[in-house]
Structure 1
């Protein structure tokens, strides 16, 4: 008897993981976890840091082996004991932590381990360059394949990482926080490629803490908590509120603490600031008790301005005062961070692993570095056990103890340590890049609370972030930058994503009447003006 199409057995899942268990010593990372991936779908995997997402994906990627459970691919048993085996079976992974080698070129990274060779057996660099250029163009990247990865920005490195994963011609793609370093335009570009992969019948696992992306691109979501399954649902059956409740037990409205009252006196004032000779001058101010945002599309000058204040970018002109005292410009690159810290300013960089933390050192060392830096270069080192313990408790850092390596902590706890360093040092002005990049929902809420508490106690924060919702919910005022100048200013409580985007796309600066007439005071900054 022939079966009708309606009674035909369903096609087996592309990937079926069942009963997956994994423990590290006495710590259980996964306990009976199941995950089913269908061809032609984008499956979100969500949960707080420590929920088991990364461990589950490392098992599917062949990085670690499960202690229990089974994996099937298209109905057949699948055992993976190495990443190469996973890639050979059509499983490509873009991990959250960038795995590119900075001393190699883009092309060398894209073809690492699979270099084309000539008839003589030598590496065919011409073919490698040509194929790399084609892959980069397909992702809309105007990059020279011969460029060293060390010369790329964080966002460019992330796209090269994505390019390497997508170029693998796989059936299953694991994207772990692929957009953490990307702006809205880059995210949309990536989403177009994800939709293409989906249309070709591939399965994509998408891990992200950004709700708007999850709802824009995913078909199904699986939530993990404490190494166990909470639920698997179609995206049209859940809301951001219900997803957050499943992950952490709190509503999205509870993410952002209440804003402070009326701000106090100005603590940072900028006038006639020009990032380049051909850019328009701008002015801004930061007051005691407030959090102020720098918003706008990627690459419009936000990062350069913040780094000019700490000596990591050389501006063309402008004056900066801190609590009424002039800050000599340009700030020297070699001693800028120490100079600013002596004036009560702390700088929290976006790339906490390469620029902020000493991953091999302990939590205690990373926290006390700020205390040591505030003293003379030849002063005797002191023990700061009590101060370290107080900051660990205040920041709610989840660690086995002060002696634990900071590299062993989750992303959210590493970020807390980095912030805690400047709180321990007594800074009352913070310059913060991407305060919650690669941080889960629960840790975000804690970091937001810490920043608001800092401001409520009389501190002041200047922050930039690619997440517009974060800036609107966290900050008191928002400056919008376009083409290396400020084109708008608005109260955060009245701001919307649409209003910020409108301002960011303006081609002429919208200087508020209350701003100082900065243009007349603009003057070139010369190297001779550097302070000693």
Structure 2
């Protein structure tokens, strides 16, 4: 295979921080090339240079032997380089079709926008990914997973020679990942060069031909995937072999902290009940869109269930909780909610790390109480969570995705809570940071806390949790100890559809 793209000795600095140190990368036509490294290793910066978002301080880029001068994303797209960034770039107030053709809308012979052509071409691009979404639907009404697929369909629809996929499966469940992988192989077989950035090891070994590892902005090495083991790849990324990805479980189950009885998420849904004790990490598993998130958000007032009772530490909550004040009410009961979309719902990107962590501490104080700096608490959380940043005054928006996730989780771990409700605890987080987050959550429960978590990564739920509830059609269809669970058992229960509840 010939080199389609050659990135030669690329360097880039932001202020006094060196993001890339003379990194070289070759991409071959008809191949899937994995780009790996811990959060902050420089992967996204390197790809943003190839996508025309950033310009290198030094180094050169060649395509088919000819030098490229990429001064904007438009230059990259015109050269045949299309990107799906980890941070979604869709405009929520526009329709799917309008987003797909933004800036290059087809016109009729009278010069007006050809909405019919936009709609039909969008439907065709979505159909290739197995989606039946209405092209006229507003992006703001889509789930995180649906938005990700629209981004990928946009990338495919551009018919580029080079496709950059930055964490494309972070918001997808196993079935969606299979659909995506089939399309990536189809593009590879058509001679495209695909750059695949992911922290999911199983995807790298299943899908990719070559892997390049970056660490601290420098090139560690490039290897054929067929010639490397998982342990060797992890060692390249973190500088050591990673032992004990998941912490040991404990049998020290304490008092009941959460009880849900006969909750009906919708009028037609079957009632569900569950309990959670201090010292436990309990999972909500299942296929995408089966009600896990609706149930979790019923507990904070962001979704109004049809019926049911919920009590925390024996205190019954009046249902439904207020949409505007539900989260604040639960904070008073020492319950924290960690949302899936850290950028839109969790973090204040323009504010410093210190402010983002301290918000969780301030929110539990009386409204008229004088503010406190919490400097020692913030410094301790940054050290414990190994947040890589210039200091507590660094804006959260300047951090890598994994470090942003640590800041969000650190807000609630610092707030002395009893119960954490967590959506996707390690979305877009590297393997080393995943292990750190798993151990932090387990330490939280060892100190008497409890965690209710949902995740699309089944292996994560099996390794991290004590018990697993499987959700299908807005109700619980199975409950199993995580130590006895397998991916097959969970998928079987998720597909079974609740004809009989399993234990």
The SS at the match of 2:366 is coil
1:360 aligns to 2:350 (yes or no): yes
Greater shift in the superposed pair: 459-468 or 497-506: 497-506
Distance 1:373 1:431, change over 3 A: same
**Distance in 1, Cα, partners of 2:355 & 2:464:** 30
Identify which of 421, 425, 428 aligns with 2:415: 425
Which one is further off, 137-146 or 11-20? 11-20
Q: For the Cα contact (< 8 Å) 1:14–1:39, is it kept in 2?
A: yes
| 1:280 corresponds to which of 270, 277, 289 | 270
Q: Which runs of 5+ in 2 are unaligned?
A: none
2:290 counterpart of 1:305: no
Conserved 8 A contact 2:478-2:498: no
1:109-136: CA deviations, max 9, x gaps? 1001111122332222222122112211
Secondary structure of the structure 2 residue equivalent to 1:114: coil
Alpha-carbon distance in 2 for matches of 1:403, 1:25 = 15
Q: Please say which of residues 13-22 and 385-394 is displaced more in the overlay.
A: 385-394
**Aligned residues of 1:240 and 1:252 also touching (Cα < 8 A):** no
After TM superposition, the structure 1 = structure 2 runs for residues 14-33 of structure 1, keeping only pairs within 5 Å, are: 14-33=4-23
Q: Which moved more, 1:144-153 or 1:417-426?
A: 417-426
Equivalent of 2:490 in 500, 517, 521: 500
**Match among 316, 319, 339 for residue 329 of structure 2:** 339
- 1:193 Cα offset (Å): 0.9
Matches within 5 A, 1:174-193: 174-193=164-183
State the match for 1:439 in structure 2: 429
Cα displacement string for residues 52-109 of structure 1 (whole angstroms, at most 9, x for unaligned residues): 1111111111111222222221122222221111111111111111011111111111
Q: Which residue of 2 aligns with 1:194?
A: 184
Partner secondary structure for residue 20 of structure 1:
strand
Q: Which residue of 2 aligns with 1:516?
A: none
1:161 matched to 2:151? The reply is yes
**In 2: Cα distance, 1:45 partner to 1:176 partner:** 9
**How many residue pairs are counted as aligned between the two chains?**
503
- 1:72 is aligned, of 28, 43, 62, to 62
Q: Decide whether the 8 Å contact of 2:2 with 2:29 is kept in 1.
A: no
Alignment root-mean-square deviation, CA:
1.6
Distance 2:118 2:27 in 1: 33
Give the C-alpha shift of residue 382 in structure 1: 3.5
Q: Matched residues in 1 for 2:19 and 2:7: separation? A: 15
Within 5 Å, give how 1:116-265 maps onto structure 2: 116-265=106-255
Larger Rg: 1
Q: Contact 2:242 / 2:432 at 8 angstroms: preserved in 1? A: no
Partners of 1:297 and 1:73 in 2: how far apart? 41
CA deviation after TM superposition for structure 1 residue 252, in Å: 4.9
- CA shift, 1:384, in A, is 2.8
Structure 2 Cα separation of the partners of residues 271 and 340 of structure 1: 18
Contact conserved, 2:247 with 2:464, CA < 8 A, in 1?
A: yes
1:253, CA displacement in angstroms? 4.4
- Partner SS state of residue 137, structure 2: coil
For each residue in 1:201-256, what CA deviation from the matched residue of structure 2 results, as whole angstroms up to 9, or x when unmatched? Answer: 11101000011111111111111112222221111111222211110134454221
With 362-371 and 214-223 compared, the bigger mean Cα shift is at 362-371
Relative to the length of structure 1, the TM-score reads: 0.91
Q: Distance in 2 between matches of 1:402 and 1:75?
A: 45
- Displacement, 1:138? 1.8
- Give the match's secondary structure for 1:14: strand
Structure 2 residue 38 is the aligned partner of structure 1 residue 48: yes
Decide whether the 8 Å contact of 1:486 with 1:510 is kept in 2: no
CA distance in 2, matches of 1:131, 1:444: 39
2: CA distance, partners of 1:403 / 1:152: 34
Contact 1:488 1:509 in 2 (8 A): no
Tell me the CA shift for residue 381 of structure 1. Answer: 3.4
- Please, which of 24, 34, 37 is the counterpart of residue 27 of structure 2? 37
* 1:466-485 map, 5 Å: 466-485=456-475
CA deviations over 1:267-295 (Å, ceiling 9, x no partner): 11111121112221121111111111111
Hey, what's the Cα distance between the residues in 1 that align with 2:224 and 2:264? 50
Partner residue in 1 for 2:448: 458
| Partners of 1:132 and 1:69 in 2: CA distance | 37
SS of corresponding position for 1:505: helix
State TM-score, norm by structure 2: 0.97
Q: Partner of 2:496: helix, strand, or coil? A: coil
Q: Distance in 1 between matches of 2:404 and 2:127?
A: 35
